[in-house]
Structure 1
Amino acid sequence: MSLKKESLSVREAQKLVLLSQRLPTQKVVGSAQEATLSAIEHLGYVQIDTISVIERAHHHTLYNRNSRYKSAHIQELIADKKVFEYWAHAASYLPMTDYRFTLPRKQAIASGKQKHWYKRDTKLMKSVAERIKAEGPLMAKDFDKKGKKHGEWKTAPTKQALENLFMEGELMISKRVNFHKVYDLTERVLPSSLNTTTPTNDEYGRFLVKKYLQANGLGKLTEMTYLIKKTKPLVTQALKNMLADGEIEQIRVADNEYYILPESLELLSKPLARKKLNILSPFDNLLIQRKRTSDIFEFDYLLECYVPQQKRKFGYFTLPILWDGKLVARMDSKADRKEKVLNINQLTLEPGLRKTEAFADALTKELQPFMKFNECNSVVLHGIEPPSLKFEFLRKFQSLDFQ
């Protein structure tokens, strides 16, 4: 039986969001690969990113939901036709069970109602598709590379044709080889039993609402439609219908009004593992929407790898740190895999963090599996803010060098 509440404290809202996000890392049943699939199905998507100073974002996000995660899981799940690549708010891995809800975007792009960033060359697209049909799965490098690169993306025409066919749904990514996409015909990638009917507007709108709220605990219209083009009218209508049907409720947190699934309030009766610490990816689902992160966790975060070096405050690639149910620090890190050293260029504690010794203990405990995850066996702390704590943290980290 669900609870009924009109408002939540900020602390309650934080707890609800974290438990909905399956953070801190929770114990999971079944095989390690099943736990990875469960995480992707629950979150709805996991963002793919190319930056590899620390293990890539998609692996990092799943590592924080599944302590037994292995980087091979994603490609295994793609081979088993349980996960596929497409676009959420960015390039992502999605559960195959949600495939039909990518069709509205694909059909809008194919019809010209929604623009993609590459200009369509229908003749070249047809030629590329016919070659894949005849030869089987191919990578961009398998096509003629003599074509002049053009457009602001400076991408080869055949690569642009492949990406257009992918975004329109004619092609899918059957696997990756050294992170390079391998394209194949959609009918050869999809499971034969999969429901591929296009959802109605009402189905699609309700899907976006429910999927978001299940994974995030509470949300606003702007958050549910974040970077998903032309969905605000559908989601607005879905919210109205679902409120009338009692499927969702409105709830206030401080000065913000959110939507929530009534059954999600039951999570508030469950414990939150506050002593467990997580070092998060900048692209983790918990904090990818920076304004939301600021509103709920009072944590202002900017990924500074896109900021000129002289203007950086915290470092090139800072990893937010979750502990005690809050975002309490950020760690600018780089894994030197050749030397097997995890470099912490700068560890910055939030001004409100008072229990520094307990935090140092929790960080030390988490750093050991995190180092292994990043193929490192030692750690070097180069700087800390405030500097007066450097000796305390260095003393804790002494136990971390291992072979």
Structure 2
Amino acid sequence: MAHELSNDQARRIIVRAQLLDADRPGDVVEVAEQLGYLKIDPTAVIAPCEHTVLWSRIGWSYEPGQLQKAFELDRQLFELDGAFRPMSLLPLMLPAMRRWPQRESTRQWMDANARFRADVLARLRAEGPLRASEIPDTAQVARAPDGWSGSNQVPIMLDFLVRQGEVAVARREGRQRVWELAERVYPRDLPEYGDDEAALLLEERRLQAAGIAKQKSPWTPVGEAGEPVAIEGSRRKYRVDPRALAALDDDTGGRVAFLNPYDGMLFDRPRLKELFGFEYVLEQFKPKPQRKYGYFAHPILIDDRFVGLLDAELDREREALRVNAVHELEPLESEEHEMVRAEIADLAEWLGVGVAGER
């Protein structure tokens, strides 16, 4: 029999699962363990995604060097598919990585470039860690440029090898990845899981991060993980993390949070619209005359309500966080205005700049 939750209760579970409640986490690894991934994106209107995601959870005590240390020195995180992930997820992902690729055209390309693959691995074994630009392109068969990659086949081969668990990102130099053999980066004492057990545990971890998710969601596939839940006003089949459900009465309340447009909280747009009444459209790729809220507006969450969008950008020349507008989706009370202004001031202080143009 399904649990029954009000819409308010469902939102609170989701907010807490995403570490956006008043009880802030203590460090980078705690955030990564709960959320499952920290998306890496170079768009830095305010700050890169991986850093704003962590700041919005941890707050003023977060420093970018903490992420670098957890990833490069402590090896508590690893990089895969455009995200930093907790090392505890790697053994759950390895069974599927060893079966990759599934697409026939990719298998054919890898087979045709067997010598190229061996060349790349041999170069890393002898000289690694290396940037892609330091590895010769000896591909026998080239893939056509797709808009994301050029004619050099080395970055493509490295991306494929990291998906197979053969190589790993050892560190970053700026936005450049530095590659190494996986055996020299990943811990050697990782537990082993069979395909079915690993898949189930991954679904449970996704539900842990989501709190509540649709059973067959393409955005957060959780399968049979958790328990069925009926949510007030919804006919959709949701699953709930039983630990989050059990802790519902321990709620410590909410706070203000500015969310990077690529924040995982915003990923499942249908859930966002149905449970939060928030229909978010990223206007980054719209022509300027068609933008209503701004190029890279950050949604504003207060408690469990999306109340507006912050259109702001870091002006490095003037050393200021320039606030173009605070768009209210619903009229804010004076206390809420003060909370938003205080969060803007905290954001500027974290960036090491002042505030300009606040409205």
TM > 0.5: yes
1:145-168 residue CA offsets vs partner (Å, 9 max, x unmatched) = 899994213422122222221222
Q: Which residue of 1 aligns with 2:204?
A: 210
Indicate conservation of the 8 Å contact 2:169/2:177, yes or no: yes
Letter of the 2:244 partner, please give it: S
Q: 1:106 aligns with which of 94, 97, 103?
A: 97
Indicate conservation of the 8 Å contact 1:251/1:257, yes or no: yes
**Against the structure 1 CA distance between its residues 366 and 209, is the aligned structure 2 distance closer, same or farther, given a 3 Å change threshold?**
same
Query: Does residue 192 in structure 1 map to residue 188 in structure 2?
Result: yes
Q: 1:303 aligns with which of 282, 289, 292?
A: 282
Q: Which residue of 1 aligns with 2:159?
A: 163
Q: Which residue of 1 aligns with 2:265?
A: 286
Moved more, 36-45 or 262-271: 262-271
Indicate conservation of the 8 Å contact 1:337/1:375, yes or no: no
Query: Does residue 13 in structure 1 map to residue 4 in structure 2?
Result: no
Matched residues in 2 for 1:340 and 1:59: separation? 18
Letter of the 1:94 partner, please give it: R
Indicate conservation of the 8 Å contact 1:305/1:316, yes or no: yes
Letter of the 1:344 partner, please give it: V
Offset of residue 333 of structure 1? 1.8
Matched residues in 2 for 1:144 and 1:5: separation? 57
Moved more, 254-263 or 94-103: 254-263
Matched residues in 2 for 1:161 and 1:285: separation? 28
Q: Which residue of 1 aligns with 2:171?
A: 175
Offset of residue 259 of structure 1? 0.9
Query: Does residue 132 in structure 1 map to residue 127 in structure 2?
Result: no
Is there any run of 5+ residues in structure 2 with no aligned partner, and where?
Answer: none
Q: Which residue of 2 aligns with 1:374?
A: 351
Offset of residue 192 of structure 1? 2.4
Matched residues in 2 for 1:194 and 1:85: separation? 16
**Residue aligned with 2:307, SS:** strand
Indicate conservation of the 8 Å contact 2:28/2:66, yes or no: yes
**Against the structure 1 CA distance between its residues 108 and 311, is the aligned structure 2 distance closer, same or farther, given a 3 Å change threshold?**
farther
Indicate conservation of the 8 Å contact 1:280/1:320, yes or no: yes
Paired-residue identity, %: 25
**Against the structure 1 CA distance between its residues 115 and 13, is the aligned structure 2 distance closer, same or farther, given a 3 Å change threshold?**
farther
Query: Does residue 69 in structure 1 map to residue 66 in structure 2?
Result: no
Letter of the 2:305 partner, please give it: K
Query: Does residue 96 in structure 1 map to residue 93 in structure 2?
Result: no
Indicate conservation of the 8 Å contact 2:10/2:231, yes or no: no
Indicate conservation of the 8 Å contact 1:25/1:65, yes or no: no
Is there any run of 5+ residues in structure 1 with no aligned partner, and where?
Answer: 30-34, 382-392, 394-403
Matched residues in 2 for 1:25 and 1:177: separation? 35
Q: Which residue of 2 aligns with 1:385?
A: none
Indicate conservation of the 8 Å contact 1:328/1:349, yes or no: yes
Offset of residue 128 of structure 1? 1.4
Offset of residue 294 of structure 1? 1.0
Q: 2:33 aligns with which of 41, 44, 50?
A: 41
Q: Which residue of 2 aligns with 1:397?
A: none
1:355-374 aligned at under 5 Å gives the runs: 355-374=332-351
Query: Does residue 347 in structure 1 map to residue 326 in structure 2?
Result: yes
Q: Which residue of 1 aligns with 2:45?
A: 53
Letter of the 2:124 partner, please give it: I
How high is the TM-score relative to the length of structure 1? 0.80
**Against the structure 1 CA distance between its residues 38 and 356, is the aligned structure 2 distance closer, same or farther, given a 3 Å change threshold?**
same
Offset of residue 179 of structure 1? 1.7
How high is the TM-score relative to the length of structure 2? 0.89
**Against the structure 1 CA distance between its residues 340 and 176, is the aligned structure 2 distance closer, same or farther, given a 3 Å change threshold?**
same
RMSD of the alignment, in Å?
2.6
Report the number of matched residues: 350
Offset of residue 126 of structure 1? 1.8
Matched residues in 1 for 2:5 and 2:57: separation? 25
